Chains A and B, each alone.
Chain A
C-alpha cells in the first residue's frame, strides 16, 4: 500500500533542478528514503509472485498426463533459467570486478581528463568506449554505474551502455564468424554506433538527477577526489543525510574513524573485491528476475507464433526485435542465433535482432533498473526500439535483400 503511494511521489520534485549536482542536498536524504519505500523489496516480491505463479500453474493441473507435462515444463523452465544465469554470471562477475577496480583506482579527475567536453564528441567517445572496456550487456551495467559515480557525463554513459555490447572486439568477431564480411556485420556495427550515439545525445539535454538513481549519483561529490576516501563513496548518500541532519563537526569525526577502519587495515584490492561482490549481488538480483522472465516466456510462448505472424517488411522487424528481447541471449553469441533466422528474414529484420537485442532485452532492462530511474529505463527501451525500427524498416524497403 505504502509502496504505491511512494511511487506516485517518486517523480522528481521540481526544486531539484535548481540545485547543482555536486552540492550535498537535504533532498538527497529525502530521496533516498523515498527510494527505500518503493525500492528493492518490491522487485523481490514481484519476482516471487511470478515464481509462485509458475509453481502453482505447474502443480494445479491434475490429470497424471498433464502433471507429467507440467513437471516437464517446469523442468524446462529451470534449465533455461539456469542456463541464462550460468551463461551471464561470468560476464557479470567480470563487470563487477572491473567496476570495483574503477571504484578504488580511478578518480574523478581521470574520467574528466579523458572524456571530451563537446557533447557530440562525448557521445561518440561513449559509443566507442567498448573497445576500452570490452564487456557484454551484463558486464556493461555495473561498469557504467561505477563510471557515473566517478562523474562520467550522462550522454557518454548512455552511449557506452547501449553501444558497448556490440562495439567490442569479441562481439564483432563473433558476428564476423557468423556472417562474414558483409552488410550484416558493417550494418550491425554502424547502426549500433548510430543508435547509441543518438540516444546518448538525446540524454545530453537531461539532468543526471532526473535520470539516475540517487545511489548511482551518490558518489559524484567533490569529496571523492581524495584518493583514500574511495570506499567512502559507497555510502555517500547516507553521509549527505547526516551532514544535514547533524552538525558538520560530527560528520568530520565520523569520516575519520571510517577511514581508519577501512583504508588502514585493508589493501585497496580487497576493497575493490568487496565492492565487486556488492555489485554482483546488487545486479545479480536484476539478472535473476530477468532470466526468470525470459525463461518463462520461452517456456510458455511458442516461437512459431512469433515467427508466423512475422512477415512483411515492417512487422518482421518488430518480430525480430521482440524475439531478441525475449530470448535475452548474450551479445557475444547472438550472431549465431540470428543466423538461424537469416533465411526466413531479411537483413533489415536481422538488424532488429542484432542491433536492438544487445542494447535492450528482458535481462538488461531489469539490470538498468539498478542504475536508472524507472522512467529512464522506459526511455532506454523505447528510444532504441524506435530508432532500430526505423533503420530496419528503411533497410527492408529501400535496400531490400
Chain B
C-alpha cells in the first residue's frame, strides 16, 4: 500500500521537495548552532552556506511540480487503475513498478498523461531511497554533534614525524612567533623545523587529555586534531606533558577532558618533542573551534 502512495506523482514531488528543504534546514541548523566546524574546516563554511541556499531553492522549485499536478485531477484515478493492473499481473509491490505501468496502459490509454507524469521521473525514489537520503539528517539529529575525540585516536597516530612537511615554507614563515599565542600545532611545527625552546618561552596551550603511553616523566599527551578540509582528514598533534607537583595527577584527569596548560619546555622526550612541564593546569570547556587548521 505504502509503495503505491509513494508512486503518486504529487507524493513524489512533495517528498522530494521536503527532503531537499529538510536537508537545507539541517545544514542551516549546523551553521547556526556553531557545530558546523565539528565536521568541516572553517575555510569551507561558505560552501555550506551556498549549499543551504542551493538546497532551499531547488527544494522550493518542486512547488511548481505540485501545482502542475493539480491541473490534472484524473491522474489519481489513472494511477489506481494502473496499479490494479499491476496487482492483477502479480507483481510484487517493490519491484512491479514498470510492469504495473505497462499493464495499466493496456487498460486505459486515456489516462496516460497523469500517469506518465508520476513515473516519468526515471529518478523516482523508493522508500529506501528516501530513508537513505534522510539518513544524514536522522543521524545528525539523533546523535548529538560532537567533535572527534579520544575514540578517533584509537586508529590514528599522533603525528610527530612527517608533520614538518604539513605546511609549505610559505605558511611556515607566517608561524605565530609570540610564544604565548602559539597553539599545539604551532609548537609541534616549530620543534620539527629544528627550533629549540628558549628558556623564556612560556607555552599556553589548550587541548584534550590523551593518556596513552604515559611514562614516569610524561603523564599525558595534550592533543588537538588538525583538520585540513573535513573531519575525515583529521590528524592528531600532541605535546607530551609532565605535571609539576601539586597539579592534579593523571589519575584525576579524565581522558578526553579539555585542559589549558601553562608551562615551559623541558628536554626532548622520546618522540623528539620537548616535554611540556606544566606549571598550571585548569580544566576548560571544549573550545568553539575544537580543531586546529593549518
A interface, CB within 8 angstroms of B: 2, 29, 32-33, 36-37, 40-41, 43-45, 47-48, 51, 69, 72-76, 78-87, 89-91, 93-94, 96-97, 177-180, 215, 218, 234-239, 241-242, 245-246, 250, 253-254, 257-258, 261-262, 265-266, 270, 273-274, 276-282, 284-285, 288-289, 292, 294-295, 298-304, 307, 327-330, 332-333, 336-337, 339-344
Contact = CB atoms under 8 A, between A and B. Distances in A.
A307 B159 CA distance: 13
A279 B47 contact: no
B77 to A, nearest CB: 16
Q: How many B residues touch the partner, as a band? A: 35 or more
Contact of A238 (B116, B148, B168): B116
Contacts of A81: 136, 139
Per DSSP, chain B at the interface is helix
B62 A304 contact: no
Given A87-B229, A281-B123, A337-B233, A75 B151 contact: yes
Nearest to B139: A78
B19 interface: yes
Contacts of B140: 78, 82
A179 B27 contact: no
B133 A254 contact: no
A78 B111 CA distance: 46
A261 B151 contact: no
Contacts of A274: 58, 61-62, 64-65
B121 A76 contact: no
Contacts of A73: 151, 154
Contacts of A237: 122
A315 B140 CA distance: 38
B246 to A, nearest CB: 30
A288 B48 CA distance: 17
B40 A83 contact: yes
B122 A261 contact: no
Interface stretch (B93-101, B174-182, B193-201, B213-221): B93-101
15 contacts: A44-B126, A78-B143, A80-B148, A82-B136, A82-B140, A87-B39, A90-B44, A234-B121, A245-B105, A257-B113, A266-B68, A281-B133, A298-B232, A302-B156, A336-B166
A279 B54 CA distance: 13
A83 B151 contact: no
B68 A86 contact: no
B40 A254 contact: no
Given A262-B68, A340-B235, 13 more contacts: A45-B128, A47-B132, A79-B146, A80-B232, A94-B50, A235-B122, A237-B122, A261-B72, A266-B68, A282-B125, A301-B155, A333-B233, A339-B166
Nearest to B152: A76
A51 B136 CA distance: 12
A281 B136 contact: no
B123 A279 contact: yes
A329 B170 CA distance: 24
B119 to A, nearest CB: 6
Interface in B12-45: 16-17, 19-20, 23, 27, 30, 36, 38-40, 44
A254 B112 contact: yes
In the complex, the 5 A-B pairs of residues with the closest C-beta atoms, listed nearest first:
A44-B128, A235-B120, A72-B151, A273-B61, A333-B229
B266 interface: no
A261 B113 contact: yes
A303 B157 contact: yes
Given A258-B113, A280-B20, A288-B132, A79 B39 contact: yes
